[in-house]
């Protein structure tokens, strides 16, 4: 019997040190043999955000242990790996360099193929770890650093339909959380408070809701939260503000998804209406519900990664590695770390993000 392809994935772009082993399957969905994620929440908590130097130091301390654990948990041997896949960007350069150099050393010493992966592509392909996901599809990427609608034609072929013109959605969640006194990382805690609050109590702005196509803006929302947060006196106020903020985000995503659906239909010329939502914020259950509702209304099929694969992990990096390996797109060991690495290069450098308001 032919040996099944094994990929070791490594991820250190921000504050998670992660390694995973996946195995190609006879079907289209691979087996996740191990998926180890070590978070640095405790390291950064007292600073209220990720401190790059501390993050890099923590990656250096843990990378070999995490990779060893991923190999051990997989029940395989390091020598059995067919390819080493690693995040090469975008992210914090001091953090990226740790995983990238570790992966290069492994590939060189074991004489294995090496592939450098775009972290955003990892998120974009993450549902492929559990679902038979076919190209093309519409992608909404909502993470700590990115908020974009993209048309995904095939592996490596992206067209950006819309982007945030200021803060990323995860960033807006984290900053709002901080303003109402929630510890880092705020997003998941804000969701918990929102469950207990009244979403109709505070009226918050929805910037560029009716203009700018499916581009988005969250900075004005943050300023409004800052003003109201000064009046927050007790838990009830806090929960109501969290709920009102989250509801406003849901309303914005609902309206902007409708526009993105139309644009995707116009350019993709396909009846295959698949809507993939990925990235850390895709773990938010209320946001999921809104995006499922709007998809069903507009006859799109919504697909989310399972909760444990929404945030940063190395299984998604191994998944992107497997796709790249199948296409025989190997990388050289001199591949640089790329702190900036847009999926749609053409759109990324447009003046003012190319947004017409
Ligand atoms: O994809 P990710 O793990 O890292 C990046 O690539 O940025 O996303 C992290 C972001 C953080 O801003 C975090 O607060 C947010 O995702 N996040 C959430 C939730 N879980 C994570 N935001 C809202 N609700 C959640 N449940
Ligand atoms: Zn990420």
Least confident segment among 94-103, 104-113, 348-357 = 348-357
What is the distance in A from the centroid of ligand 2 to the CA of 302?
Answer: 20
Nearest to 145 by CA among 341, 289, 284: 341
Using 50, 70 and 90 to split pLDDT, how confident is the model at 7? very high
- By most ligand atoms within 8 Å of CB, the mutation choice from 122, 280, 316 for ligand 1 is 280
Q: Residue 30, class by beta-carbon neighbours within 10 Å (0-12 exposed, 13-18 middle, 19+ buried)?
A: buried
Which of 172-186, 285-299, 320-334 has the least mean pLDDT? 172-186
**Structure confidence at residue 346 as a pLDDT band (50, 70, 90):** confident
Query: What residues contact residue 334 under an 8 Å CB cut-off, 6+ apart?
Result: none
DSSP string, 163-197: EBSS--HHHHHHHHHHHTTPPSSHHHHHHHHHHHS
In contact, 184 and 144? CB cutoff 8 Å: no
Q: Give residue 338's pLDDT.
A: 97
CA atoms of 148 and 155, how far apart (whole Å)? 17
Q: Which ligand is nearest to the CA of 119?
A: 2
CATH 3.30.470.10 fits 135-304, yes or no: no
Regarding the beta carbon of 188 and ligand 1, being less than 6 Å apart is answered yes
Nearest ligand, measured from the Cα of 311: 1
- Whether the pLDDT of residue 28 is over 90: the answer is no
CB 122 less than 6 A from any atom of ligand 1? no
Q: What is the DSSP string of 75-93?
A: TS-GGG-SEEEEEEESS-H
Q: What pLDDT, in 10s, does the model give residues 208-245? A: 999 999 999 999 998 999 999 999 999 999 999 999 99
Cα angle for residues 285, 92, 166 (degrees, 5° grid): 55
Give start-end residues of each CATH 3.30.420.40 domain in the chain.
6-128+309-326, 135-304
Q: In 10 A of CB 184, how many CB atoms?
A: 18
Does the C-beta of 11 come closer than 6 Å to ligand 1?
Answer: no
User: What's the CATH fold of domain 6-128+309-326?
Assistant: Nucleotidyltransferase; domain 5 (3.30.420)
- Nearest in space to 319 (alpha carbons), one of 69, 124, 67: 124
Residue closest via CA to ligand 1's atom 10 equals 144
How far from the centroid of its chain's Cα atoms is residue 342's Cα?
A: 13
- Residue 281 near ligand 1, beta carbon < 6 Å: yes
Q: What is the pLDDT of residues 168-190, one digit of tens each?
A: 999 999 999 999 988 887 999 99
Strand pairing partners for 335? none
Can you read off the two tokens belonging to residue 284?
């938010």
For residue 39, the tally of other CB atoms under 10 A from its CB is 15
Mutate to test the pocket of ligand 1, among 11, 170, 242 (most ligand atoms within 8 A of CB): 170
What average pLDDT does range 189-200 have in this prediction?
97
Residue range 120-173, pLDDT digits in tens: 999 999 999 999 999 999 999 999 999 999 999 999 999 999 999 999 999 999
What confidence score (pLDDT) does residue 147 get?
97
pTM: 0.95
């Amino acid at each position: 019997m032919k040996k099944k392809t094994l990929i070791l994935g490594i991820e250190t772009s921000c504050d998670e040190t992660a390694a995973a082993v996946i195995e190609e399957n006879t079907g289209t969905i691979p087996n996740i043999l191990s998926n180890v994620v070590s978070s640095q929440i405790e390291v950064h908590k007292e600073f209220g955000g990720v401190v790059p130097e501390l993050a890099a130091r923590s990656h250096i301390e843990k990378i070999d242990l995490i990779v060893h654990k991923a190999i051990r948990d997989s029940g395989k041997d390091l020598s059995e790996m067919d390819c080493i896949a690693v995040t090469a960007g975008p992210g914090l350069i001091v953090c990226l360099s740790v995983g990238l150099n570790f992966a290069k050393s492994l590939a060189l010493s074991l004489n294995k193929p090496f592939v450098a992966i775009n972290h955003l592509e990892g998120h974009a392909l993450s549902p492929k770890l559990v679902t038979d996901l076919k190209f093309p599809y519409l992608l909404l990427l909502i993470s700590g650093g990115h908020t974009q609608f993209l048309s995904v034609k095939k592996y490596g072929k992206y067209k950006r339909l819309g982007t945030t013109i200021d803060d990323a959605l995860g960033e807006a969640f984290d900053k709002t959380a901080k303003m109402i006194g929630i510890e880092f990382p705020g997003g998941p805690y804000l969701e918990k408070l929102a469950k207990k609050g009244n979403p109709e109590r505070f009226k918050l702005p929805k910037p560029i809701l009716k203009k700018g196509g499916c581009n988005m803006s969250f900075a004005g929302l943050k300023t409004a939260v800052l003003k109201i947060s000064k009046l927050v006196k007790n838990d009830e106020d806090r929960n109501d503000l969290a709920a009102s903020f989250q509801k406003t985000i849901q309303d914005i995503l609902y309206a902007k998804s409708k526009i993105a659906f139309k644009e995707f239909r116009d350019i993709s010329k396909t009846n295959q209406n698949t809507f993939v939502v990925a990235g850390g914020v895709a773990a938010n259950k209320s946001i999921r519900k809104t995006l499922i509702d709007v998809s069903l209304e507009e006859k799109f099929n919504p697909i989310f990664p399972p909760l444990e694969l929404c945030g940063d992990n190395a299984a998604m990096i191994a998944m992107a590695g497997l796709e790249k390996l199948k296409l025989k797109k190997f990388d050289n060991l001199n591949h640089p770390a790329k702190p900036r690495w847009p999926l749609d290069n053409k759109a990324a450098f447009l003046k003012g993000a190319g947004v017409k308001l």
